[in-house]
Amino acid sequence: MKLEHFPLRHNLRVRYSEIDAQGVVFNAHYLTYFDTTINEAFRGSGIDWLAEVERSGCDVQLVRSLVEYKAPLHFDEAFTVGAGVSRLGRSSLTWALGVFGADGSLRATGEIVWVYADLAAKRSTPLPDWLRQRAEALPLRS
């Protein structure tokens, strides 16, 4: 897996508050990095996620998260998170993610699965056209 396989990329730097007693990024922060990258992608595309949720009464629910650690990140290290859509279902969207050091080395991979849900009914509902169209434009490249 290489950074160029991902259509979305977001640059970050490890903050002191993100490291653990071993001097490396605490494992839970990788999910925050993934979430930040996906949110920045929607922000950059002009989609007002909160307005869409308010208008529709629907939002995504996280149903799966996976992180595989390859090599640690350290304090003040610059890195890039790549994201792309690896699968679209009727009501689900699967993100493939990768964390890369400034030298291009793969530090972690991940998968996030969302299910689009009607919040009042508490059940899945088909992905809306605006989300499906946006996701179709972000395929993971091989």
The reported pLDDT for the residue numbered 35 is: 96
* Prediction pTM value: 0.94
Which residues, in sequence order, are bridge partners of residue 11? 80
| Residue 6, SS3 per DSSP | coil
The reported pLDDT for the residue numbered 123 is: 97
Report whether pLDDT(44) > 90: no
Percent of the chain scored above 70 by pLDDT?
A: 100
CB of 43 closer than 8 Å to CB of 52: no
Q: pLDDT band for position 131 (50/70/90)?
A: very high
Element (H, E) at 136: helix 129-136
Beta-carbon contacts of residue 55 (< 8 Å; ≥ 6 apart): none
Cα–chain center distance at 47? 16
The reported pLDDT for the residue numbered 46 is: 81
Element (H, E) at 101: strand 92-101
Torsion of CA 123, 44, 89, 60, to 10 degrees: -20
The reported pLDDT for the residue numbered 15 is: 98
